[in-house]
Each structure stands twice: as structure tokens, then as C-alpha cells.
Structure 1
Amino acid sequence: MMFDAPLGDEAAGGNFFQQLPVILWQRRWFIIVPTIIGIVGAAAAILLVPPVYRSNAIMLVESPQLPKEVLGTDSADLIDRRIAAIRQQITARPDLIQLIERHGLYASERKSTPLSDVIADMRSAITLTPSETSASAGGGAANRTIAFELAFEYSQPLQTQAVTQELMDRVLQLDARGNAEQATNTVQFLTDQSAGLETQISALQLQIGEINARNGSVLSGGGMIMGGSGGSYDVQIAALQRDNQLLLQQRSLAQTSDQRDPIVAAAEQRLAGARSVYAETHPDVVMAKQALAEAKRLAKDNSAKIPVNTLDEQIAFNNSQIAALRSAKAGETAQVNSQLAARARAPLVQQQLGELQQRLTAVNAQYEQVQNQLMSAKAGVRAEDEQMSERLSVVEPPVIPDQPSWPNRLLLGAIGIGGGIGLGFLLALAVELILRPIRDPSALKAILGSPPLGIIPMIEPVRIQPRGWKRFLSFRGTR
């Protein structure tokens, strides 16, 4: 007797794992057929997938032979960016087109695919990646790349190696040229910057010198303003003026001395007395007139002998002294006024000088820094010329690959067989869960509510194997 009825969830879960070998044996064709299909698919993939060869070159970043204190640069953090720039240059469209034309790459693809797609495929086939890193000194967070791998993948081994070799030569050329150009441009830039700073320093020094020259007396220490000698000048001028007045009086007296002579005065008195007594024709009056005339003549002769020229010379000398004293007084007054005006401008001048000095100090510090950088840049140019700076070198040149990198036949075979077996197990279990045949007496108890009265063993008859597609759906129940 064979039972074939739906199972409850509790009965199905109770003996499922115990019946698993029987289930798998009964559903063996659900496992065998997917396994065969997986094997056939793996074989087809192994035979039909075109091989891809990979040729690679290992390039090492050689450390500079001079310390960074001499070169003045620490390029540990610039290597990755430099390699990235080189990768962009070697994968540029013109370079890739030249490589395609030179080596006859992608001949079949170019017949049916646009050139831009072919270039994109070739660009993706070129890789320039770091292959080794080392931690930077001092436990910093950044890592320094010390080696790079350049690789190219293509379907033909000879062309793969040739393209990789040409790409490697191009990378080395770009690295060397880039280092030399960068060092030369750095020296030129720093030289121009140094010349500009020298011009600024000269201009600032010239301005400071001009300000010091215009305001030297005030900026030298701000001494006392000497302005008390104006009174002495006035006293000297007044004394000279008094002397001139006396000399003028003496000169006037000298010019009229013949009229003020005492002998002449006495003769005039005698003449007047005689006239008061006698007539003009009287002999006494006549004699008095003669005596007066003689006295005047004698007085005139004496006044002519007085040195009037000496008095004039003294008066002229005194006048020249007075003019000199007045000029000195005016000069001193102008100097005092100039000193007062300069002292009034002193705070503004000192502030201007302070600002110029600060600018000069800042420019000098910048100039010193640029000079140090310029010396380091020149050392870098010399080190680059003598090949003592950091550069790329080839550790492993590209070789002709003897085995394709893809497909991996063992991996494809394992995937095909493993995938077919796994899919067969899943199909077998899925059919078992969908049909749910009764395979245990406990399933009857779960369905009917009471256990069966007995179990009759089933004698296995000679069974005719179904043919065609029916055998995939065959199963045996329990009798």
C-alpha cells in the first residue's frame, strides 16, 4: 500500500533530514541533469571564451642619493600624484591611437565598433597601480608608495609585451622629463621672485634714507631748541646804533666847528660892543671887523684838519655789523621755526618710518626664505642632471606571457560542476517540498489523528523504468 498525501508542517520537519538520502536518490535525475549542463557550459566557456594575456612591468621609486635638507624637497607625498599625472598622459587619446595603429591592435573590433569605444577598452586594459607601500617615518598617517606595476591586457601575447614595453619606456621618459622641467621651472620662478623682492627692498631702503635725510635733526634724538640768542642780537644792534648817532653828532660838529669857535665868538662880541658905541666907519669898528674875519679864517682852517673820513668809515662799518646781526637773527629765527615744525611732524615721521621698517623686515624675511628655496632648487637641478634625485627605475621588465591570465580553466570547470550540482540539489529539494509525499507512519498519525494498526513491509517488485520525460517526475511512496 502506497501513501501519497499532504504532510503537516510538524511531520514534514520531524523526519526530513532522516529521509534526505532517500529523497536525493529518488530525485537523482534532478541533480544529474543540471550537473551535466554545468559541465557542458563550463567546457563551452573554456573553449569559446577568448584568452586574455597580461604583461606587466615593476618600476621602483628610487630614493634620492642626497638628503632632503640639501634638495630642500620632500616628495614622498607627491609620488602618487606624479604617477597619476603620468597615467593620464600615457592613456591620452593621441598616444593610444598611435599604439593601436603601430601594433595593429583591435583589428576586428575596429571594423564593427566606434574608435572611441575601442580607445575606452584599451584605456581600461592599461593599469598603473602601486604594488608596495611602506609606512612613513614617525608613524605618520600617510604611506609612501615605493613601487608601481604597469600592466596591459590583450588577446595576443607578442603584442601585449610590445605595448607594455613601449608604455614602460614612455613612463620613464615622462618621469625624467617631468622632473627636469619641474626643477628648471622652479629655479626660474624663484629667481624671478628673488629679483622682485630685491627691487622692493631697494625701494624701501631708499624711502627710509630720504625720510632720515629730511628729518635727521629731529629723529637723531630731538635735542633742545636753541632760540635764546635773539636778545643779544638786539642789544648789539642797539649799541651800534648808539655809536652811529654819536659819530654823526661828531661829524656834524666837525662840519660847523668854524662857526662855534670861541675866538670867533669873542671877536663877534667885540664887534658888537664897538658898534654899540661907534659908527661903522670908526677905526675901532673897522678893526673889530678885521679881527672877526681873521678869527673865522683861522677857525675854518682848523675845522678842515678834523678827520671826517674816519668817522664815515666807522659809521659804514657799524651799519655793516648791524646788517650782519640782523641777518644772523633772521637765520636763527628761521632755524628755530624749522625745528619747531620738524618736531611737530616727528610723530607722523616716526610712524611712517615704523611702517616702512616693518615692511622691510617682512620683505627681508621673505627674501631670505626665497634664497634658501632657490639654493635648494639649484641643488635639485644639479642632482637631476647627475641622476642623483628621486626617479623611477625598472625592476622587472615586461616579458612575453606564456599563459593567459583569463579565462582560468580550472576555475571555470569548478564553477560549472559546482554550480550544476548545487542547482540540482536545489531542484530536488524544491520538488520534494512542493509534492510532499508521505514517507513515514508518523505522517499518517498527524493526518488521521491515530496511528496505523500495522506496517506491512513492501517487497520490491521488478520495476519497469519509465521512459522519456516521465522518469524525471517518478517517485515511490511507502506501501
Structure 2
Amino acid sequence: MNDQSTNFQDILEIIYRRKWVILIPLLLGALGSVYISMGVKPYYISSTLILVEHQKVPESYVTPTDTTPVATRLSTITQQIMSRTNLEKIIKEFNLYRGNEGDDLVWGMSRIKKYLGIDGGGKTSMEDAVEKMRDSIEVEVIGKTKRGGGDAFTISYQGADPTKTMDITNDLASMFIEENLKIREMNAEGTSVFLESELGKSREELEVKEDAIRKFKETNRGALPDQLDSNLRTLDRLQLELQSMRNDLRSAKDRKAALEDAIYNSGSENNEAVLLGPEVSLSANPVKELERLRSLLDQLLSTYTENYPDVQVVRSNIKQLEDKIAKTTEQESSGKNEDAKKGEIVKKAPSKKVIYSKRNMEILSIKSQINFYENRNSQLVKQIKRYEKRVEAVPGNEQKLADLKRGYSIMLRNYQSLKEKILDARLAENMEKKQKGERFRVIDPANHPEKPIYFSKYKIIMAGFLGGLGVGAGLAYLLEFLNPAFRKPEDFLGVIDPPVLATIPFYSSEPDVKKSAVNVS
């Protein structure tokens, strides 16, 4: 209890010692608040309620391109409308903030600035006017959700003139509605333009990939994966034909060797037989060979087309034999006279010579067959090697083609997806242009304020009084802290060791001088 009374007494002593330090700020704060309260003018507030209407076409039919939450979009629109350019137009149109006649809420502060020499005291600058108007506009979302959406929002403006306040609020509402439509339409058009540019790039990439696949197929024609079964069947057939051809070649060589042995063993008349043989063989052997080749051609055409290599080789051999037969016919017709001269020799020829000539014809025919078989054998070997290379190249070509087709399929899906998105974007763009999308609609127009709103003068004076008191108390405490002194015996405790024996009270010599002067008189 003694400690509390002592502390309270100390505080009273400090207040008494620093009374002017406390009283001067207190008086200044009280006078300043009174001055400000006398200059503060009433103001008016006008507000309008705007409903956020969702798009009229169901989203399952037309997907909007702008899905920004209402609160986010309002923040963007607010920044655009509260730009310096737009606010300057409104200020000039309604002739706002032309002087310190009290048409704003900070009129009292401007008077203090003028009194202190901070403000020029003339007309308010455009920068100050823009800032004052920004402070006077308020936008509030109603029904705000966690995702930042809302069903409606209000726009409020406060000013000194009720009519101007209402007109400015209506203009702000119109600007919000127009800016929202403009932003949504621009977003829809920008989306369409972007998607069309991306579709063009995708189309070019798709054409490049298609050209690469086409060139790859042309380069590797015959060795593609889808031709593997055909190549294997052709390879099997060629190998069977090669085996058959080799058997026929071996048989022809055996028959030729047997005929040659028979001619050799028949006697000395071989020379005449050799002379007569070629004459008869020219007329008999090529025809039989031609018939055989034509029969082989019919068999090949029953299975393959005209472009098949075997068909073309057989046709070439047939043409050669036909030319040979034609030449032989011409030679026979031109050589009738010579045959007549040789008639005697032919008539005298014995029957064995005819046999010899037939054997020679058979040998010549067999030689022709052997030549055909050998040529055909070499052709078949080349074809088999070519088809084997094609079959061996199929796995590598299959992997390369799969990579090309994989990239092509991805690009094709992307291209088709972009086409679908462009259609959706165009629908959304038409919807926004016809104002069928999400839009703002005024429900409650701006009201004409009738009752002004006043600042409480008592609150202003009380605030100035408390502010001055706080400043004075702070200065007094600061001075006590910066200028410590020993004023009581208790202040020496803990500072010096010797005990305090006596205290000398504050002594002033002026009363004693006056008293002694009275006694002398």
C-alpha cells in the first residue's frame, strides 16, 4: 500500500514539475480539433446495386471463354475505371474539386495544410483530385463465395453535392457494365485468334509429318511392315520355282549328254547329220519352245499381274523367239533355190541321216532350254536376294514407321482438338457479341441522397484532446528519462553505500530577503 501511494505521489510530482510540457500539447490538440470540427462539412453517399446475371445459354451447349470469378474480374475492372484517364474525364465533366470550398471529406486537413504553409491554398491539383476521387469510390461484392464469385455488387460514391453524387454513381455503374462487356468480348475474340494461329501451326506440322511418312514409304517400297506377308509368300514361291528350275536344268543337261553320246556312237555319218541338223532345227525347235513359253505365261498370268517380274521376263523371251522364227521363215523362203540345188544330196540321204538330224534338233532344243533355265535361274537368285533384303529390312522400317505414325497421331489429335476448340470459341464469341453471356444489370439505380452525413464534432474535439494529452505525457516521460536526478532519500538506495543522514529541503532566499527588508523598516 505504501509503495502504491509512493508511486502515485511520484507521478503527481512529475506532473507538477512538467506541467507546462503536458499542458501546451494538450491545449494545442484541443484548439486544433475545434478548428477542424468547425471546418468539416457534411457529405452525401449514393449507391447502386448491380446484379451479376449468368449466361442465358446453358454451359453444356456453349462453354464460355472467360471463367474468371466475379470478384477477380471486378478488381480488374475497378483498376481500369479508377485509372487516371477515366477519373480526370469525370472530374472535368462534373467540375469537381476546383478549390477548398468544402466539397470533399478532407477539407479540414487542407485548411491545416494551408495554415501551416504546406498547401498553396489555391485550386486543388489534378493529382490530388484524382486521389480524392479514388478514396470516395467504394466497390463491394455481395454474396462472395470461397472461389471468389458473387451474385451482385454495389458501387458507392460520396461527395458534397447530392445531385452530382447521384449522377457520378450512375456513370460509374454504366462504365462498369460497358467495361465488363468489352473485356468479355475481347477475351472471346482473343481466344479465337489465338486458337486459329495455333491451328495454322498445327496444320503445317501435320503436313510436314504426312510428307515425311509419304517419302519414307516411297523410299522403302516393298519393305514395309504391311508388305511382309506378301514378300514371304513371294519368297517361298521363288524358292520353289528355283528348285524346280534347277531340277529341270539338271534333267536337260542329262538328256543333252545322252543324245551327244548316241550321236557319237552312231558312226562316221555324223558329219552329214551335223550338216543337215541345223537346217531342220531352224524350222522345228523354236516353235515348240514358243508354245512352251506361252503355256508358262498363261500360268503366271493366272496368279500375277502384268507388272510382275517373271511375267515380263517370259514375255521378253517369247518376243525374242517370235523374232527368231520370223527371221527363219524369211531365210527359208529365200533359200528355196539353194534347196533345189541340194535336192540331189537330200534325195540320196539315207534314213540314218534323218535320225541324226532329229537328234541334232533335239540337242539344239535342249541347249535352248538350258540357256533359258540358266538365265531364269540367275534371275530367280537375284529376285530371292532382293526379297530377302526386303524381309530383313522390315523390322527396322517398322520401328521407324511406328515412330513417324506415333508423332503423326499425336499431331492429328492436337489438330482435331484445336478445330473443336475453335468452334467452341466462335460460339462463345457470337454469344458475347449478342450479349447472351454473363453480364451486369442494374437492379437499384443510384439514389438521390436527401440526408447528409456529418462527422461528430464532439468526437473530433475529444480525439484532439486525447491526442494532445498523449503527446504531452510522452514528452514529460522522455524528459524525465533523459534528465535523472536524486530527489528523495530512497533514490540513493543501491547507488551509494553510506546511509543518508539528513536531507536539505528546497530553500529559496527571496522570502527571507523581503522579510528582513520589512524588519529593517
> TM-score, normalised on structure 1?
0.59
User: Per-residue deviation at 1:190?
Assistant: 2.5
- Taking a change above 3 Å as real, the CA distance of residues 203 and 424 of structure 1, as seen in their structure-2 partners, is closer
Task: State the partner residue of 1:181.
Answer: 186
Task: State the partner residue of 1:378.
Answer: 426
User: Per-residue deviation at 1:198?
Assistant: 4.5
In the alignment, which of 39, 50, 55 is matched to residue 46 of structure 2? 55
Task: State the partner residue of 2:478.
Answer: none
After the TM superposition, which residues 217-366 of structure 1 pair with which residues of structure 2 at under 5 Å, given as runs? 218-222=225-229, 223=232, 225-226=235-236, 227-237=239-249, 239-240=251-252, 246=259, 252-254=271-273, 301-303=347-349, 321-366=369-414
User: Per-residue deviation at 1:196?
Assistant: 4.0
User: Per-residue deviation at 1:253?
Assistant: 3.3
CA distance in 1, matches of 2:270, 2:44: 136
Task: State the partner residue of 1:416.
Answer: 461
CA distance in 1, matches of 2:37, 2:451: 14
Give the counterpart letter for 2:142 in structure 1. E
CA distance in 1, matches of 2:193, 2:469: 74
Contact 2:180 2:439 in 1 (8 A): yes
Give the counterpart letter for 1:135 in structure 2. T
- Deviations, residues 293-341 of structure 1 (Å, cap 9, x unaligned): xxx9976642499789999987776566445434433332233222222
CA distance in 2, matches of 1:349, 1:310: 57
Contact 1:218 1:342 in 2 (8 A): no
Give the counterpart letter for 1:91 in structure 2. M
Counterpart secondary structure, 1:387: coil
CA distance in 2, matches of 1:238, 1:92: 103
Contact 1:64 1:389 in 2 (8 A): yes
Contact 2:98 2:124 in 1 (8 A): no
Contact 1:54 1:151 in 2 (8 A): yes
Give the counterpart letter for 1:125 in structure 2. S
User: Per-residue deviation at 1:352?
Assistant: 1.5
- Deviations, residues 413-437 of structure 1 (Å, cap 9, x unaligned): 245358759999999xxxxxxxxxx
Task: State the partner residue of 1:135.
Answer: 145
Give the counterpart letter for 2:140 in structure 1. P
Task: State the partner residue of 1:125.
Answer: 136
After the TM superposition, which residues 431-446 of structure 1 pair with which residues of structure 2 at under 5 Å, given as runs? none
Task: State the partner residue of 2:446.
Answer: 398
- Deviations, residues 167-197 of structure 1 (Å, cap 9, x unaligned): 3222211211221222223233324434543
Contact 1:251 1:311 in 2 (8 A): no
In the alignment, which of 84, 87, 106 is matched to residue 97 of structure 2? 106
Structure 1 portions without partners, runs of 5+? 1-6, 15-29, 137-141, 258-295, 428-479
CA distance in 2, matches of 1:239, 1:422: 132
CA distance in 2, matches of 1:88, 1:339: 75
Contact 2:72 2:148 in 1 (8 A): no
CA distance in 2, matches of 1:193, 1:423: 68
CA distance in 2, matches of 1:59, 1:393: 5
- Taking a change above 3 Å as real, the CA distance of residues 153 and 374 of structure 1, as seen in their structure-2 partners, is same
Task: State the partner residue of 1:169.
Answer: 174
Structure 1 residue 115 corresponds to structure 2 residue 132: no
Contact 2:81 2:176 in 1 (8 A): yes
Q: Percent identity among equivalent residues?
A: 18
- Taking a change above 3 Å as real, the CA distance of residues 319 and 73 of structure 1, as seen in their structure-2 partners, is farther
User: Per-residue deviation at 1:82?
Assistant: 2.3
Contact 1:190 1:374 in 2 (8 A): yes
CA distance in 2, matches of 1:342, 1:58: 79
Counterpart secondary structure, 1:135: coil
- Taking a change above 3 Å as real, the CA distance of residues 122 and 220 of structure 1, as seen in their structure-2 partners, is same
Counterpart secondary structure, 1:398: coil
Greater shift in the superposed pair: 237-246 or 82-91 = 237-246
CA distance in 2, matches of 1:312, 1:105: 131
Task: State the partner residue of 1:71.
Answer: 62
Give the counterpart letter for 1:185 in structure 2. G
Counterpart secondary structure, 2:92: helix
CA distance in 1, matches of 2:95, 2:466: 44
- Taking a change above 3 Å as real, the CA distance of residues 116 and 315 of structure 1, as seen in their structure-2 partners, is farther
Contact 2:225 2:395 in 1 (8 A): no
Structure scoring higher RCO (CA < 8 A, sep ≥ 6) equals: 1
Give the counterpart letter for 1:412 in structure 2. K
CA distance in 2, matches of 1:327, 1:421: 124
> TM-score, normalised on structure 2?
0.55
CA distance in 2, matches of 1:398, 1:297: 138
- Deviations, residues 376-406 of structure 1 (Å, cap 9, x unaligned): 323322332443211111122223433445x
CA distance in 1, matches of 2:434, 2:124: 48
- Taking a change above 3 Å as real, the CA distance of residues 123 and 420 of structure 1, as seen in their structure-2 partners, is closer
Counterpart secondary structure, 2:449: coil
- Taking a change above 3 Å as real, the CA distance of residues 97 and 330 of structure 1, as seen in their structure-2 partners, is farther
Structure 2 portions without partners, runs of 5+? 9-21, 101-120, 264-268, 277-341, 473-521
- Taking a change above 3 Å as real, the CA distance of residues 256 and 421 of structure 1, as seen in their structure-2 partners, is closer
Q: CA RMSD in A?
A: 4.9
Greater shift in the superposed pair: 234-243 or 373-382 = 234-243
Give the counterpart letter for 2:145 in structure 1. A
> Which entry has the higher C-alpha Rg, 1 or 2?
1
User: Per-residue deviation at 1:48?
Assistant: 0.9
- Taking a change above 3 Å as real, the CA distance of residues 312 and 113 of structure 1, as seen in their structure-2 partners, is farther
Greater shift in the superposed pair: 349-358 or 204-213 = 204-213
After the TM superposition, which residues 181-220 of structure 1 pair with which residues of structure 2 at under 5 Å, given as runs? 181-201=186-206, 203-205=208-210, 207-208=212-213, 211=216, 214-215=221-222, 218-220=225-227
CA distance in 1, matches of 2:205, 2:358: 69
